[in-house]
Structure 1
Amino acid sequence: MQRATRVFAGAVAGLAMASASATDAKEAAGTGLGDVDFRASCTAEVGEDFDRAVAMLHHMMYAQAREAFERIAAEESDCAMAHWGIAQTLYQPLWPTRPSADELERGREALQRARDIGVETDREKALLAAAEAFFEDPDADWWTRIGRWADALESAHENHPDDREIGVFYALSRIAVGQTADDRAAYNAEGARAALAVHEESPTHPGAIHYLIHANDIDARAGENLDVVRAYSDIAPSVPHALHMPTHIFVRLGNWPEVIEWNQRSAEAALEHPAGDHVSHHYPHAADYLVYAHLQRGEDGKARGVLDEVLARQGYQPSFISAFHLAAMPARFAVERRDWERAAAIEPRTPTEIPWDNFAWPEALSWTARGLGAAYQGQLEQAREAEAQLAALRDSSESAGESGFANYIEIDRLLLAGHIAREDGRDDEAVALLKQAAKLEDTMEKHPVTPGALLPPREALGELLLELDRSGEALEAFRSSQEVWPGRYRTLLGAARAASAAGDEGVAREYYGMLLETTAAESDGPEIEEARNAMGKM
Structure 2
Amino acid sequence: MKKATKTSFVALTLAMALVGVVSAKEQFFGGLGAYERKVTTNSREAQRYFNQGLAFVQGFNDVEAIRSFQEAARLDPKCAMAHWGIALACGPNINLPWVLPSLAQLERSELRLAQENAGQVSPVEQDLIKALSHRYANPQPEDRAVLNQAYADAMRKVWQSYPNDPDVGAFFAEAMMDLRPWDQWNSKGQPNPGTEEILATLETVLKLYPRHPFANHLYIHAVEASPHPERAYKAANRMRTLQPGIGHSVHMASHIDIRCGRWQEAIDTSLKAVAADRRYRKVAGPPVGIMEDYVAHDHHMLAFAAMMTGQRKLAMTHVRAMVAELSPDD
TM-score normalised by the shorter chain: which range applies?
0.7 to 0.9
How many angstroms apart in 2 are the aligned matches of 1:158 and 1:84? 20
1:81 corresponds in structure 2 to: 81
How many angstroms apart in 2 are the aligned matches of 1:301 and 1:47? 46
Stretches of structure 1 that go unaligned for 5 or more consecutive residues are 1-30, 314-325, 327-349, 353-362, 364-538
Write out per-residue CA displacement over residues 462-495 of structure 1, whole angstroms, 9 at most, x where no aligned residue.
Answer: xxxxxxxxxxxxxxxxxxxxxxxxxxxxxxxxxx
Matched letter for residue 77 of structure 2: S
Normalising by structure 2, what TM-score? 0.78
Shift in alpha-carbon separation, 1:284–1:83, aligned structure 2, 3 A: same
How many angstroms apart in 2 are the aligned matches of 1:312 and 1:61? 20
1:291 corresponds in structure 2 to: 303
1:460 corresponds in structure 2 to: none
2:118 corresponds in structure 1 to: 118
Task: Compute the displacement of 1:56 (Å).
Answer: 2.2
1:103 corresponds in structure 2 to: 103
Give runs of aligned pairs for residues 423-438 of structure 1, distance below 5 A: none
2:137 corresponds in structure 1 to: 136
How many angstroms apart in 1 are the aligned matches of 2:205 and 2:169? 7
Task: Compute the displacement of 1:69 (Å).
Answer: 0.5
Task: Compute the displacement of 1:74 (Å).
Answer: 0.6
1:157 corresponds in structure 2 to: 159
Shift in alpha-carbon separation, 1:221–1:155, aligned structure 2, 3 A: farther
Secondary structure of 1:230's counterpart equals helix
Matched letter for residue 260 of structure 1: I
1:93 corresponds in structure 2 to: 93
Bigger relative contact order, structure 1 or 2 (CA pairs below 8 A, ≥6 apart):
2
> Sequence identity of aligned pairs in percent?
22
Task: Compute the displacement of 1:85 (Å).
Answer: 0.4
Shift in alpha-carbon separation, 1:226–1:309, aligned structure 2, 3 A: closer
Shift in alpha-carbon separation, 1:51–1:206, aligned structure 2, 3 A: same
Secondary structure of 2:95's counterpart equals coil
Q: Is the 8 A contact 1:72 1:82 kept in 2?
A: yes
1:278 and 2:258 matched: no
Task: Compute the displacement of 1:301 (Å).
Answer: 3.2
Give runs of aligned pairs for residues 260-275 of structure 1, distance below 5 A: 260-274=267-281
Write out per-residue CA displacement over residues 390-439 of structure 1, whole angstroms, 9 at most, x where no aligned residue.
Answer: xxxxxxxxxxxxxxxxxxxxxxxxxxxxxxxxxxxxxxxxxxxxxxxxxx
Q: Is the 8 A contact 1:267 1:284 kept in 2?
A: no
1:201 and 2:208 matched: yes
Write out per-residue CA displacement over residues 307-331 of structure 1, whole angstroms, 9 at most, x where no aligned residue.
Answer: 2234445xxxxxxxxxxxx4xxxxx
1:170 and 2:169 matched: no
How many angstroms apart in 2 are the aligned matches of 1:136 and 1:185? 27
Task: Compute the displacement of 1:104 (Å).
Answer: 1.5
1:56 corresponds in structure 2 to: 56
Q: Is the 8 A contact 2:164 2:208 kept in 1?
A: no
1:302 corresponds in structure 2 to: 314
Task: Output the aligned Cα RMSD.
Answer: 2.5
Secondary structure of 1:98's counterpart equals coil
Q: Is the 8 A contact 1:35 1:55 kept in 2?
A: no
Task: Compute the displacement of 1:170 (Å).
Answer: 1.2
Which structure has greater helix proportion? 1
Q: Is the 8 A contact 1:35 1:206 kept in 2?
A: no
Task: Compute the displacement of 1:185 (Å).
Answer: 4.6
Q: Is the 8 A contact 2:176 2:194 kept in 1?
A: yes
Q: Is the 8 A contact 1:175 1:214 kept in 2?
A: no
Shift in alpha-carbon separation, 1:139–1:70, aligned structure 2, 3 A: closer
Task: Compute the displacement of 1:264 (Å).
Answer: 1.4
Matched letter for residue 86 of structure 1: I
1:351 and 2:328 matched: yes
1:43 corresponds in structure 2 to: 42
Q: Is the 8 A contact 2:267 2:302 kept in 1?
A: yes
How many angstroms apart in 2 are the aligned matches of 1:82 and 1:172? 20
Task: Compute the displacement of 1:200 (Å).
Answer: 2.1
How many angstroms apart in 1 are the aligned matches of 2:94 and 2:157? 20
Write out per-residue CA displacement over residues 138-186 of structure 1, whole angstroms, 9 at most, x where no aligned residue.
Answer: 2422333322221111121122222222111112222232445777455
Larger mean Cα displacement after TM superposition, 66-75 or 172-181: 172-181
Q: Is the 8 A contact 1:247 1:262 kept in 2?
A: yes
Matched letter for residue 234 of structure 1: T
Shift in alpha-carbon separation, 1:130–1:184, aligned structure 2, 3 A: farther
Secondary structure of 1:91's counterpart equals coil
How many angstroms apart in 1 are the aligned matches of 2:135 and 2:259? 32
Q: Is the 8 A contact 1:134 1:146 kept in 2?
A: yes
Task: Compute the displacement of 1:248 (Å).
Answer: 0.9
Matched letter for residue 205 of structure 1: H
2:22 corresponds in structure 1 to: none
Task: Compute the displacement of 1:122 (Å).
Answer: 2.4
How many angstroms apart in 2 are the aligned matches of 1:302 and 1:164? 39
Instruction: Kindly name which structure, 1 or 2, has the bigger radius of gyration based on alpha carbons.
Output: 1
